[in-house]
Structure 1
Amino acid sequence: MLRLALQGMRTRWVTFIGSFIALALGVGLIATTGLALAATFAAPDRGPERFAKAPVVVQTSALIRARTPIGERTQRIPHPDPVPAAVSAKLAALGPVVEDRTFPVSGPGLSEDTVGHPWSVAALTPYRLTSGRAPSAPGEAVATADGPPAGTTLRAATGTGTGTGTGTGTGTEQVTIVGTVASAGFESALFFTDAEAARISPAIDAVAVTAPADRVRAAVGGGFDVLTGDDRRRADPDPDRDKEALVSVNALLGTAAGVTGFVSVFVVASTFSFAVAQRRREFGLLRTAGATPAQVRRMVFTEAFVIGVLASAAGCRLGATGAPRLAAWMVDAEIAPPWFRIGEQTWPLHTAFWTGLFVALAGVVVSSWRAGRVGPTEALRESAVDSRAMPLSRWLIGSAVLATGLGLLALALADNPGDLLKRKTYITQPMLLIVGFAVFAPVLIRPLTRLLTWLPARLPGALAMLARENASAGVRRTAAVAAPVVITVALAASLMGTTATISAAKATEAREQITADYIATAGGNGRALPAEFVQRARAVPGVPGVHISPTRSSAVVVMEEGTALVSSEAKAVDPAAHAAVSHLPVVAGRFTDLDDDGIVVNEEWLTTKVGSRVSVWLGDGREVSLRIVAVLSTGTGSNGVYLTPRNAPNAPVDRVDIAFSPGTDPATAAAALHSAAQATGVRLLTGDQWIQAHYPRSDKNTRLGLWMILGIALVYTGIALANTLMMATSDRARDLAALRLTGATKAQVLRLVAAEALLVVAAGTILGTLVAGVNLLGVWSALGLLDASSAVVIPWTTIAAVTATTALLATTASILPASLTLRTRPIEQVLC
């Protein structure tokens, strides 16, 4: 049987090469994304950075610890309390101490994330002077190498911006750079004298002490972290940034692996099934010669096994070569952190290999079973025309898959519409619908092709009529060619349309909520805004009245169902001031009832009854019981929790919304605000400008990630489309020769082949657009249920570009093999 299978493979090498290419590329994609995904499971081991030379570091505990029936749960808090001066004094009795203070610094020539430190803490990194000298007087500073050079004088805004007494908010000062240090790579910093840093920010963030760790623990007691060894990294700025960076990369690659795995498996199974269906005449001859159904099936499985082993091995080699290149591209595109590399894991290669082999064998199960069941005469009679496009098993499978896809969509709309707005959901949601429509392609293709050719077939000439009849007669071939088109168009339209629709809904929601004339931020995410700007904004000259609402970004942690600590973003505002600059979607209670004993939640919370009390941990780790005073609609997910400033201690002001009262001269007020913003290094935008800057565009990583996922799928399905068409066209040598013998010229035959390819692409595009339309309708319905209605954004440009590309590929992949076939004399093709 193996010898017979190998002889058949040598004779029909075009068909088997096509199957080999499809499978090798599919396994290669699975291996590539699998290796990249495996590299995200562990962050690199890094030692301490800012306090690498500090023996012991003490800071207030930044973790919430809660006991649950399934063990202790922890959650990091954003704004722990500073180290009390009394504790620092105790530590000073044990040995030399260095007090660290960190505060934002902004100004011309400084990066958005520049921070200030006392000079004494520089030796703990260690930072070494590369030019100039150490600061010795107020107004002097040393900069890291990525900052301004020595000798530069600039106006810098300093201060924590908390406005709570923990920082003086000294405002704008003239700073002279008297020296520089080599950059450590994890921060841009200015180092002031210790006395100047203490004046700017009296709060002590951490204390480095030279003393035995056990004596330090005994001195500080509970509520503090005493860090030694590698644990000192927890005192570094953003110590979890490596893990957090991998979380987003893991989510992206996990989604990419799912999409590419789905596309690969589907296309490979379709290609193998089509390759078997092409050989019905050969099977009929074998049955006539005395082969039993079992022998036919064993031969087909043997061929699939041989191709599966060879192609899967080749695909693993492609994956091992392609994974480092994918990782390098992600680093260059800033999707992944600079240190991201492919590890030494081999399990993705094993997974890809056995997946490829399984798909190869599974792809021929139904077709080989059907080929073995028919009798010799029936097989020869059916070899020319597909009289029955779909067996009962395919009807049942297609119905089950389509019903499951539509059922899950309906269930999500009924139970939790917000899930449909999440990236993993709206990327993977269309897959079942794509499979369902593609399984029914043999049934749907015939009426579609007849509809598309209805008018052209009535025009003079036989081209459209022949294209229609050929597509209808070879419906399995047509469906196999249309499958990659359906996947390509459906994925492209669904991904781009869904993200555009959700972004448009977010923009609409923001326009409805923001009524401020201007919005001021410090640039960075959660970066403190200088207190001087708020003071100057409140004193805008010549204005009858101005509403100013400073916002502090914090977080609250709640225990859900007694087992999980869940963190939610929170904004601390003055309710009356914020109500004057915004219009929040309150569905229960009153926002202005917010006080120090209250909290505003959204509909996603487990408890949403106004007047009920909820136990939460605040941003500094304190556990309090707060009364729900209002509930906001869920919307697109941006409506979070609101507190009063008293319940967000240590959180800096990072945004200020400003609205002018009636009678205010807009030009005068705007000029004063812009002057204050320029003097303090604040970014000031009008409400419309702020919305345009943040909406409807998604962030860079999301856009690049989607294009990466879509690009991988499009490239593969494009190659699969060309591969399948070449297989199909090369198998029609006798049909093309018969056309030549009836008087058709070579040019007419090639035009017919091209017309058939374009007809299949058009039918596949319609099916793919229909799948995308169902998915977009689900997203639109979810937005409506969440009170975030928005028009559906149909990505016509993307659909047109994908359709044009597939049409070009299909035409080229059809004409080239047909041209080669037409070089042989027609009579030789018919008699062979």
Structure 2
Amino acid sequence: MLSVAALRARWTGLLGPFVALCLGVALMSMTALILVSAQPRVPDRYAGAEVLVAAPAVEAAPGTFPERRPWSPERAAELAGQLAAIGGVAAAVPDRSFYAQAVVDGRPVGEPAPGDPQGHGWSSAALAPYRLVAGGPPGRPDEVVLDRSLGLAPGSRVTLLTATGPAGYTVAGTVDGPGFYLADPVAAPLARGVRLIGLVVADDADVTAVRAAAESVVGRDGTVLTGADRAEVEPPRDVRTRWIGMQVLTAMTALAGFVSIFVVASTFAFGVAQRRREFGLLRTVGATPGQLRRLMYTEALAVGAVGAAVGAVLGTVWAPAFGALLVDAGFQPVGFRVRIGPWPPAAAYLVGLVVALLGVWSASRRAGRVRPLEALREAVVDRRPMTRSRWIGGILTTAFGLLLTVRLAGAGPDDIVNYALYAAMALTGGLTLLAPVLVPPLTYALTWPLERLPGATGMLVRRNALTAVRRTASTSAPMLLTVGFAVLIAGSVATSAGAYASRDAAAIRAGSVLVPAGTPGLSDAAVAAVPGTALLPSTVYADPPGGAATGAGIPIIAAGVEPAGFARVNGRLRVLSGDFAAFRGPETAVVTAGLADRLGWSAGAPALLGYPDGTGGQVRVAAVVADGSIPAQLLLTREVVRAHDPSALTEAVFGTATTGQDGGGSHRWAALGARLVDVAEYAAERDAAEDRLVWLATLILIGVSAGYTAIALANTLLMATAHRARELLVLLRSGATVRQVLATVATESGLVLAIGTALGLLVSMVALLAIRSALSEQVGVPVELVVPGSTIGLLVAGCVVLALAASVLPARLILRGGPGGGGYRVE
């Protein structure tokens, strides 16, 4: 019959797999519910239109979400007239949208997201539909209808900032929805291209018949959408946000499944080592290896069934709150809600059972190989901590990791992440296998100061670690994994961001940069406030090679610049063919080599473009430049971009004056939604939104991986402490006080953490140094290695608290009965 200590040790050994499976299934259930709920939805602005006619879609590369090609004003008017004549259609409304933002107390308020125009023609309000709650529609060019939440009453004055600059308007009325609505004749010049025509149908109209008639009118020049299909006109920014969120959620789910298997497998494997004497006794009384394997599978299935059930319930309960957090973090669009359904938790439950069985597979084989003579073993001395297979596996895996690190140091931009991840995984696996060899020297180095302290604590800690080398190595492995991957992920993200910022700063030849402040871009009035070179981004369209000459098939990221000024400030410009000096006037353009190869363009040849206002034109390619040497795929003159994209906003103005020479213009720029910064600050902030999302995703992945490995660490220490009950009681009987025994246990836990942290830092720093070398070669400037110390410090501190709780508290429970051991049998 098993002793109370053995029973407690068995249940302690099952606690880790239970918690790991419970949290893993909770994460999988929660993320599955969110993924199922993250479907396109009809935008509120178009909820009142039963039928939507959308402009033609364009080709989109993976991970890009371009807007549809707009119709020209003339074509939009022609289509609207034909669609309005359809029976049952009450109104055909071309939706004209443009940038608009209110200025309150001298500063723009309510910064809209890029690609989220807040200005519209008054007729577009009927598509929502938004209701007038006060006043009336705009009747004069200087009148506006706006959201009542701004607190402005009809008759009051308001300043609106548009792409041209600030202008005063009189509030004609307020509506119960967002946006700024100008009279249609005023809105038309601000948004020349039209991407959608909404059809407001009569109450008794047959929507199916209206759709069929609309399709015959539009033909191949657009797409007619009804019902749930109207979600296809969801703003590209929402589609992109949801896509990013799905990448993060998918990574979380995959990581949760992988680490759950790792934790379950490692915990069951450690449990087999702790229960060898028990299995030996079972073999002595006649148990077969198959019966022991079935015993392990039964235990895993029981733990999996209960843990997965609890996890499925927790995931369902947590999903709405986590969905709201994703919206706040920017990983789901505003308005996203989690829909609770039965099959995602059920699927996560089944996955949890599979994970439990996979995790116990290796441990069950080891349990089946235990011999009856193992029942006679009492000492925990490691007679052979390194087997031949462990030596071979450790050396080969470490060598492979070092080889990948060498390749990483010279890797290109597309291979850095993959090489870094694979190198870290290989080095982690190699050092884990070789840990019994590394533990003794690390133990001597880390316990040397303890030997100089009075008492026997230092000596006991060192002897215990060296006597049970495999136990020390096993308990330090989770810490190695936690620290190694956390430092690698956080350090690589921070180092990469700093490297690209340094590259951009080194390439800009300017004294200062005017950047947006509280706005998505700079108006023409802000650009005129600082002498310098402006960068005006836009999107144009080109036909694929061999396609019809519509000038609309492929979206191209373009930028409008002043050619001579741009050449002066751009230190990265590299011309491959043609002459950049020939880039002047509205009939010329500069293109990157990648785009030129894709479209078959060459220096001196003509190129047909479709513009954002729906019109088209031909330009001559003045020069082909290297990819990455300009901040777009295509350069046009600023005048061309402004003429065809009246609502485009300038990204930045590169000025000659330094930030200290603003001439007292800061207050004036604030009213224009701008501020002056130095080049280094501009380079660091240029991709701030992207860097923020990347960093949040990094923290989420670190949290998931660290949480699981922390569970493994705590459970391993808990099992190890419970298994050492006899050893701890013997110390107490030998004259040690309870405080001395607890101090020894706490110091041993600290030693395990220190060994794991040292090995984890070794793995991560080797990979990070290779990443820095690769980035330096790639960006052409010295790169500083950045390791977020605060993040790593919090992680290590959390592991310390958890490890001490998992080792000292059970030791205290063991010792509370005194030398007699309470409920523990000491033979």
TM bracket, shorter-chain basis: 0.7 to 0.9
Give the letter for the 2:159 counterpart. Answer: R
Match of 2:184 in 1: 194
How far does the alpha carbon of each residue in 1:240-276 deviate from its partner, in whole angstroms, 9 at most, with x for none? Answer: 4544332111111122223333333222221111111
> Within 5 A, what are the aligned runs for 1:12-411?
12-38=6-32, 39-41=34-36, 43-44=38-39, 46-47=41-42, 49-54=44-49, 57-58=52-53, 60-64=55-59, 77-78=66-67, 80-85=69-74, 88-89=77-78, 91-92=80-81, 95=85, 97-109=92-104, 110-113=109-112, 115-150=118-153, 151-158=155-162, 161=163, 169=164, 171-183=165-177, 188-198=178-188, 200-201=190-191, 206-208=196-198, 222-227=220-225, 230-232=228-230, 234=232, 238-288=234-284, 296-337=292-333, 338-341=335-338, 343-344=340-341, 345-346=343-344, 348-365=347-364, 367-372=366-371, 376=373, 380-381=376-377, 383-398=379-394, 401-402=397-398, 405-406=401-402
* Contact 1:515–1:582 under 8 Å retained in 2: yes
Give the letter for the 2:363 counterpart. Answer: V
**Distance in 2 between residues matched to 1:293 and 1:91, nearest whole Å:** 79
- What TM-score do the two structures reach when normalised by structure 1? 0.81
- Superposition deviation, residue 644 in structure 1: 1.6
**Distance in 1 between residues matched to 2:292 and 2:403, nearest whole Å:** 39
- Superposition deviation, residue 757 in structure 1: 1.1
Match of 2:535 in 1: 550
Change (3 A) 1:559 1:283: farther
What SS is found at the alignment partner of 1:754? helix
> Within 5 A, what are the aligned runs for 1:404-423?
405-406=401-402, 416-421=412-417
Match of 2:732 in 1: 740
* Structure 2: unaligned runs, 5 residues or longer: 86-90, 202-209, 548-552
- Superposition deviation, residue 547 in structure 1: 3.0
Q: Does 1:581 align with 2:569?
A: yes
Change (3 A) 1:427 1:220: same
What SS is found at the alignment partner of 2:144? strand
Change (3 A) 1:208 1:277: closer
**Distance in 2 between residues matched to 1:32 and 1:623, nearest whole Å:** 56
Change (3 A) 1:763 1:389: same
Match of 1:4 in 2: none
- Of 665, 669, 677, 1:677 maps to 669
Match of 2:550 in 1: none
- Superposition deviation, residue 435 in structure 1: 3.5
**Distance in 1 between residues matched to 2:502 and 2:119, nearest whole Å:** 39
> Within 5 A, what are the aligned runs for 1:478-517?
478-517=472-511
**Distance in 1 between residues matched to 2:658 and 2:769, nearest whole Å:** 46
* Contact 1:492–1:799 under 8 Å retained in 2: yes
Change (3 A) 1:349 1:206: closer
Match of 2:704 in 1: 712
> Within 5 A, what are the aligned runs for 1:399-478?
401-402=397-398, 405-406=401-402, 416-421=412-417, 430-457=424-451, 461-478=455-472
After the TM superposition, which of the residue ranges 126-135 and 403-412 deviates more from structure 2? 403-412
- Of 789, 793, 800, 1:800 maps to 793
What SS is found at the alignment partner of 2:99? strand
Match of 2:816 in 1: 823
**Distance in 1 between residues matched to 2:118 and 2:654, nearest whole Å:** 30
Match of 1:543 in 2: none
**Distance in 2 between residues matched to 1:604 and 1:98, nearest whole Å:** 36
- What TM-score do the two structures reach when normalised by structure 2? 0.82
After the TM superposition, which of the residue ranges 476-485 and 510-519 deviates more from structure 2? 510-519
**Distance in 1 between residues matched to 2:606 and 2:432, nearest whole Å:** 50
Change (3 A) 1:406 1:172: same
- Superposition deviation, residue 148 in structure 1: 4.6
What SS is found at the alignment partner of 2:784? coil
After the TM superposition, which of the residue ranges 189-198 and 686-695 deviates more from structure 2? 686-695
* Contact 2:13–2:271 under 8 Å retained in 1: yes
Change (3 A) 1:775 1:154: same
How far does the alpha carbon of each residue in 1:436-494 deviate from its partner, in whole angstroms, 9 at most, with x for none? Answer: 43333333223321232245336654322221110121223212221221122123212
* Contact 2:515–2:652 under 8 Å retained in 1: no
What SS is found at the alignment partner of 1:553? strand
- Superposition deviation, residue 360 in structure 1: 3.7
**Distance in 1 between residues matched to 2:357 and 2:167, nearest whole Å:** 69
% identical aligned pairs: 32
- Superposition deviation, residue 48 in structure 1: 5.8
- Superposition deviation, residue 776 in structure 1: 1.2
**Distance in 2 between residues matched to 1:19 and 1:614, nearest whole Å:** 73
- Superposition deviation, residue 409 in structure 1: 5.3
**Distance in 1 between residues matched to 2:64 and 2:688, nearest whole Å:** 32
Give the letter for the 1:268 counterpart. Answer: V
After the TM superposition, which of the residue ranges 285-294 and 14-23 deviates more from structure 2? 285-294
> Within 5 A, what are the aligned runs for 1:676-825?
677-678=669-670, 680-694=672-686, 699-788=691-780, 789-825=782-818
After the TM superposition, which of the residue ranges 606-615 and 8-17 deviates more from structure 2? 606-615
* Structure 1: unaligned runs, 5 residues or longer: 1-6, 67-72, 162-168, 541-545
Change (3 A) 1:314 1:762: same
What SS is found at the alignment partner of 2:532? strand
Match of 2:592 in 1: 601
Match of 2:559 in 1: 571
* Contact 2:5–2:722 under 8 Å retained in 1: no
**Distance in 2 between residues matched to 1:460 and 1:803, nearest whole Å:** 28
**Distance in 2 between residues matched to 1:65 and 1:499, nearest whole Å:** 27
What SS is found at the alignment partner of 2:649? strand
* Contact 2:533–2:561 under 8 Å retained in 1: no
Q: Does 1:531 align with 2:524?
A: yes
* Contact 1:135–1:193 under 8 Å retained in 2: yes
* Contact 1:312–1:357 under 8 Å retained in 2: no
Match of 1:69 in 2: none
* Contact 2:211–2:224 under 8 Å retained in 1: yes
Give the letter for the 1:155 counterpart. Answer: T
- Superposition deviation, residue 766 in structure 1: 0.4
- Superposition deviation, residue 583 in structure 1: 2.0
How far does the alpha carbon of each residue in 1:739-772 deviate from its partner, in whole angstroms, 9 at most, with x for none? Answer: 2333323222222112111111110110111121
Change (3 A) 1:98 1:289: closer
Change (3 A) 1:456 1:121: closer
**Distance in 2 between residues matched to 1:359 and 1:310, nearest whole Å:** 16
**Distance in 1 between residues matched to 2:596 and 2:545, nearest whole Å:** 9
* Contact 1:556–1:570 under 8 Å retained in 2: no
How many residue pairs get matched?
Answer: 783
- Superposition deviation, residue 177 in structure 1: 1.0
- Superposition deviation, residue 328 in structure 1: 4.1
How far does the alpha carbon of each residue in 1:540-569 deviate from its partner, in whole angstroms, 9 at most, with x for none? Answer: 7xxxxx43223223367897999xx99774
Give the letter for the 1:192 counterpart. Answer: L
Give the letter for the 1:794 counterpart. Answer: V
Give the letter for the 1:767 counterpart. Answer: L
* Contact 1:301–1:364 under 8 Å retained in 2: no
Change (3 A) 1:666 1:279: closer
* Contact 1:304–1:364 under 8 Å retained in 2: no
**Distance in 1 between residues matched to 2:223 and 2:45, nearest whole Å:** 16
